[in-house]
A and B are shown apart, each in its own frame.
Chain A
Amino acid sequence: MSNTTIVPFGPQHPVLPEPIHLDLELDDERVVRALPSIGYVHRGLELLAERYDFVEMANVAERICGICSFIHGQGYCQGIEQLMGVEIPPRAAYLRTVWAEISRIQSHVLWLGLAADALGYESLFQHSWRIREMMVDIIEETTGGRVIFGVCKVGGIRKDVDDETLRDVRRRIGEIRAAFDEIATIFRDDPTVRQRTVGVGLLSAADAHALGAVGPVLRASGVVHDTRRLGYAAYGELDWEPIVEQDGDCYARCLVRVREVDQSFDLITQCLDRMPAGEVEISVKGKRPKGEAMFRLEQPRGEVCYYISADGKKNLDRFRVRTPTFANIAPLIHMLKGCELADVPVIVLTIDPCVSCNER
């Protein structure tokens, strides 16, 4: 055996907002092996599906994670709707898309802030969160919540947003976009960011594919894969292309997220321009889900799969979520091999770990 030291990283660590633990086996300053251990946030919420009504369960699904809360609610509801054969009105689909993209922007900007903090760039962290707060204001005005939206329900959405508010949102999206462009150039060009991220934590396209990476981690390695291409909600009717970078390092992953924020602004504008009029929900009273359904959608962190099985009772039989962070842990362990100890926080952050999603 060589002379290696084991350094514990986490669960409570200044750079981590959430608890994940890694045992880093070091040879001098170089990481030989990283061993993750999880379970700090496991609540067992999948089992709650057997206890709660399938309509109420949408609230629990939204609380899988506080950052991608809306998209979890959306995924659960669309899974149930698919199972029941319910087609939601177009306005509801468009509003869901708008909220999903708003929550993608706030999640990515939040991540950019945390990444800047991990690089030691405190002022950039503060600026990112200043911009995120503008986004949160829009969320609050349209849904009523800052973190948990609570607007998605089986059969549509809970509350319509009037056209005047939507016009106001469209105007403000323009302002936020201008503010974001200022910090986006720093993430693109600043030497402080580039020096810490270029060439760090390399993941080749073949490895990313073999290890099952998803989301920005996969796209930063040059693989064109975005679950939104399936065309759920309103994505099939919008003009957009998945964002791909070729380098597979931390810088590329950062860049993918910066460009995705821009793309999301664009998608929101498209949705608001084409917003159809009409109802926002259809009644599912008396209907019960029966059978099995699998539903996939794209979270800020990557592809998330929902498996729902029901046998016509008011509770579900089984509810299972496969989250993007879980898929990205294996690529993370691969990236950590051979890196330096000082780079570990940056590499861990670039997969955008969402531990509460991961452990549920």
Chain B
Amino acid sequence: MSFLKKSPWVLHYAATSCNGCDIELLACLTPTYDVERFGIVNTGNPKHADIFLVTGSVNEESRKVVENLYAQMPDPKVVVAIGACALSGGIFRDAYNVYGGIDQVLPVDVYVPGCAARPESIIDGIVQALDILEQRAKARKRQRKIVSQELEAR
């Protein structure tokens, strides 16, 4: 992973999830998978986070929380939807209190399939998210440069 220059911090929120993907996500942090060796740290604070990991589908109550957390995260940020429910609503797509996938309310960058998503695929999703994060950071840098050059020219 030559592009991993920084330690990405992740924020996890179980939107309307059955717990299955959440425990797999926690399993990623523990000795068998141990993503912390790559510098990936789970944080409870949205202001410290680079990657937003959302499990489960979304309903009216959790929509407010998900949107709030997303808004509090600093740019650049990446959203990873984990599990069948976060992708489309999964087995609960017909239930009356489910809007569907997380992409109904947030711009999702990486989709991790599975019911429940396996730790290996979750790690793979985070690694893909890192690539996107890096590109966004570069794009921001470029934009800043253009703005400052224009300001100087004036």
* Chain A residues with CB under 8 A of B14: 17-19, 41, 356
Is B41 an interface residue when CB atoms closer than 8 A count as contact?
no
Inter-subunit contact B95/A43 (CB<8 Å): yes
Q: How far is the CA of A173 from the CA of B85 in the complex (A)?
A: 33
Of the candidates B22, B31, B65, B96, the one whose C-beta lies within 8 Å of that of A44 is B96
Chain A 103-143 interface residues, beta-carbon cutoff 8 Å to B:
110, 113, 125-127, 129-130, 132-133, 136
In the complex with contacts A12-B65, A14-B44, A19-B13, A45-B95 CB distance below 8 A: yes
Q: How far is the CA of A354 from the CA of B22 in the complex (A)?
A: 12
Inter-subunit contact A66/B44 (CB<8 Å): no
Is B32 an interface residue when CB atoms closer than 8 A count as contact?
yes
* Selected interface stretch from A24-32, A56-64, A270-278, A310-318: A56-64
* Selected interface stretch from B2-10, B53-61, B124-132, B141-149: B53-61
Inter-subunit contact B69/A51 (CB<8 Å): no
Inter-subunit contact B31/A63 (CB<8 Å): no
B20: min CB distance to chain A, Å = 3
Inter-subunit contact B18/A65 (CB<8 Å): yes
Is A167 an interface residue when CB atoms closer than 8 A count as contact?
no
Is A11 an interface residue when CB atoms closer than 8 A count as contact?
yes
Chain B 1-53 interface residues, beta-carbon cutoff 8 Å to A:
13-24, 26-27, 30-32, 43-46
Q: How far is the CA of A66 from the CA of B85 in the complex (A)?
A: 13
Inter-subunit contact A41/B32 (CB<8 Å): no
Inter-subunit contact B62/A40 (CB<8 Å): yes
Is A148 an interface residue when CB atoms closer than 8 A count as contact?
yes
A263: min CB distance to chain B, Å = 23
In the complex with contacts A18-B22, A41-B56, A48-B92, A12-B17 CB distance below 8 A: no
